[in-house]
Amino acid sequence: MKISIERGALLKAVSQAQSVVERRNTIPILANVLIEAEGSDVHFRATDLDIEVVDRAPAQVERAGATTVSAVTLHEIVRKLPDGALVTLTDDGASGRLSVEAGRSHFNLATLPKEDFPVMASSEYSSNFSAPAPVLRRLFDKSKFAISTEETRYYLNGVYMHVSESDGGKVLRCVATDGHRLARIDADLPNGAADMPGVIVPRKTVGELRKLLDDDDTQIAVSVSETKVRFATPDITLTSKVIDGTFPDYTRVIPQGNTRRLEVDAAEFAKAVDRVATVSSERSRAVKLTLEEDKLTLSVNAPDSGAAEEELAVAYGDERLEIGFNAKYLLEIASQVDRENAVFLFNSSGDPTLMREGNDTSAVYVVMPMRV
């Protein structure tokens, strides 16, 4: 194999590969990226056995072929090369070394046989559709903060992507929860997605997927089966196993009858929460919200370290209510609001609270209060 490739294109391809590779590996070949050169393209393939990413980059292929080298080392080298450099990768097949040349730099990297590289078995996808990058970006960005890290409830370690109904119409919906808060985000159902099976997309896959979604104009080809999900741009294909488990029935968790309505400027609210939480010494910083007519008082009382209080002008017309929350959870849901005011709907100080942006029900958040 012998190829020449521009440093920028190579860096982009290799950085996606190396982020999939697990840092601590017991199987050496999994630390490597498979480089396959054919025609006018070179493919970089990396896997952790749960996720596989394939990047295509244009290159001058002098001699077709394939080999594998350490993804992290190759990435480090390419990252340190000067911008605009032309990089030549040569593998003569016999020496067990890949030569990397750029300008006056020359590296020899140990390789492992391409035959040892585990290629994810291809599968039949029961549903194929296409969605604009910004739509998927919103679905996952606004839900991923609520993904659980608790391993005993592994079925919560991802975002549940499925088809659901809202206001009589079908929607593509992403839900994540860790039992303390929940995010439910809807988007118009793309053509061809109606029969999609619901899948739990693992946390790591959500992180990798995010890198495909930066460009507003890209259409993402999405393929879903009961066991796998695939997201593809013209250059990058990300295939992932989905979490083998049943996502809990979240619909009964979302409060329907909360009537005490608070409307507040989300940015002002978040800043105030952040300020008063500063004095709290505990790990789960509890903030107390006291609601009175058109007035919200945020307070923290930490016997060991001090107390703080701040008042906000808000729209609230119901009875007085005192309710406590973990400051971090409040900040996280408040930061999801970007266009309108945040609307909170409370019931009592022991019941889950609902938050949404204005009257938009396509993104709702639920957060559990805590005793203060």
Task: Output the smallest distance, CB 333 to other proteins, in A.
Answer: 13
The answer to whether 193 and 108 have CB atoms below 8 angstroms apart is no
Shortest distance, position 263 Cβ to other proteins, whole Å: 24
CB nearer to other proteins: pick between 65 and 369: 369
State which residue, 119 or 307, has the beta carbon closest to other proteins.
307
Provide, rounded to whole angstroms, the least separation between the CB of residue 229 and other proteins. 23
Q: Which is nearer to other proteins, 337 or 370 (CB)?
A: 370
Least distance to other proteins from the beta carbon of 335, Å? 19
Q: Would you say 3 or 370 has its CB closer to other proteins?
A: 370
User: In terms of CB distance, is 58 or 179 closer to other proteins?
Assistant: 179
- The answer to whether the CB of 58 falls within 8 A of the CB of 48 is no
Strands (E) in 167-285, as ranges, are 169-177, 181-188, 199-202, 219-224, 228-232, 236-241, 260-264
Phi and psi at residue 205, to the nearest 5°: -65, -40
Interface residues toward other proteins, by CB under 8 A: 150-153, 177-182, 248, 250, 253, 282-284, 286, 324, 326, 350, 352, 366, 368-372
User: How many Cβ atoms sit within 10 Å of the Cβ of residue 362?
Assistant: 18
Q: In the bound complex, what is the minimum distance in angstroms from residue 322's beta carbon to other proteins?
A: 14
* Under 8 Å between Cβ of 49 and 38: no
On the 0-12 / 13-18 / 19+ scale of CB atoms within 10 A, 177 is buried
- Closest of 53, 42, 65 to residue 17, by C-alpha: 53
